[in-house]
Amino acid sequence: MSPGYEALVSGVALWLDPNRALLVVEGPRAIAALNGLLSADIESLAAGEAALSFLLTSKGRPVAVPTVVRREDDILLDVSRTALPGVLDHFGVYLPPRLARVSPLDGLHRVSVLGPGARSAVESAEWPPEAIRVERAPEDGSGIDLYVERACETDEIGARLAAEGVALASQTDYETWRIELGIPVYGADVTADNLPQETGLVPRAVSFDKGCYTGQEVVARIHYRGHVNRILRGVHYPEGHAGPSIAAGTELVREGRAVGTVTSACDSPRFGPIGLAYVRHELGPGDAVTAQADTSAPFIVEKLPFTLT
């Protein structure tokens, strides 16, 4: 078990995600214009508050799953770099420049302080007064995301937290931790091929009380009148069964029929080989699937998350 992973699970870890990009949206009607494009109700956010949201096509397909941070005079969008080209193209078509302008925000970056001791570590360290603190939802794991000036380099941030025993998490550490928590990421577990209800993010990222937004009709129709054919679940080996690592892209089969696909996978120090996978909606926790039709390697479908910590 690496120090970074152990800190994520039981202590405090520092994580600098290289796959995030920040955009700023500003203008005389930036909030209203964005509210017509995003599934979350961002008009209800106060300065310093944040919400997860979908940015959808008219057919209800995700362009991105941004974290939306309300600031005093503008909106900060925290998006996956994988989604960035599509987000900029989408805004170029649907965001009227007379109402709102969107541009990359290179002056800030996101620093995540994660783990059970994150809050105490952040509160005990001194931060620039302009730093924005966003407490992560329980579904995103214990921690706080800080948006700080890029002049505040990693070494300086680490020095602020060193007294609290903070470890620097690696990409592998974080990937393992987020799969254990069932946290989907855009580009791997969420793409333009998905519907929002498949991802498990709708309770957090969609408001059914706000006004219209692009893609709303599809989301509402599924919510009130139908269901999706697949849903994001966990997969793992049965207890006592040792098997090889699970690979992203693995096709899952049940009784000779294709029933799912693995989207992310890792070798967890706590749970062994595990993965996130889209499986048929009728499959529930405890159901068995195999990696492919000609193998007996078993997997068990699991409701996410694998763990809450």
Are 249 and 147 in a shared domain?
no
Are 156 and 278 in a shared domain?
no
Are 123 and 262 in a shared domain?
no
Low-confidence winner among 67-76, 99-108, 149-158, 297-306 (lowest mean pLDDT): 149-158
Are 65 and 173 in a shared domain?
yes
Low-confidence winner among 3-7, 106-110, 206-210 (lowest mean pLDDT): 106-110
Return d(Cα 174, Cα 20) in angstroms, integer: 14
Which alpha helices (H) appear in 80-150, and where do they start and end? Answer: 84-94, 118-124
Are 127 and 38 in a shared domain?
yes
Are 154 and 85 in a shared domain?
yes
In a domain, 161, yes or no: yes
**CATH number of the domain residue 39 falls in:** 3.30.1360.120
Are 128 and 244 in a shared domain?
no
In the chain, the number of structural domains is 2
Residue 40 has phi, psi (to 5 degrees) of: -85, 160
H-helix or E-strand spanning residue 175: helix 171-180
Are 126 and 55 in a shared domain?
yes
Q: Is the pLDDT of residue 160 over 70?
A: no
Q: Is the pLDDT of residue 64 over 70?
A: yes
Q: Which of 121, 149, 180 is the last residue of a domain?
A: 180
Low-confidence winner among 17-31, 52-66, 146-160, 274-288 (lowest mean pLDDT): 146-160
Q: What is the DSSP letter of 67?
A: E
Mean pLDDT computed over 70-89: 96
**CATH number of the domain residue 304 falls in:** 2.40.30.110
Range of the domain at 139: 3-180
pLDDT at 163: 57
pLDDT at 107: 84
pLDDT at 154: 58
Q: What is the DSSP letter of 229?
A: S
Q: Give the amino acid at 308.
A: L
Report pTM.
0.94
131 confidence band (pLDDT: 50, 70, 90): confident
What SS3 state is found at 252? strand
pLDDT at 241: 76
The overall average pLDDT reported for the chain is 91
In a domain, 188, yes or no: no
pLDDT in tens, 176-220: 999 999 999 999 999 999 999 999 999 999 999 998 999 999 999
Return d(Cα 191, Cα 185) in angstroms, integer: 9
Query: Which residue did the predictor score with more confidence, 94 or 297?
Result: 94
pLDDT at 294: 53
Q: Is the pLDDT of residue 295 over 80?
A: no
Spell out the residues 6+ positions from residue 268 whose beta carbon is closer than 8 angstroms to its own.
176, 179, 180, 274, 306
In a domain, 302, yes or no: yes
Query: In residues, how long is the chain?
Result: 309
For the sheet with 167-168, list strands across it.
Answer: 132-135, 143-149, 108-114, 13-15, 167-168
Q: Is the pLDDT of residue 175 over 70?
A: yes
Q: Which two tokens stand for residue 239?
A: 């207890």
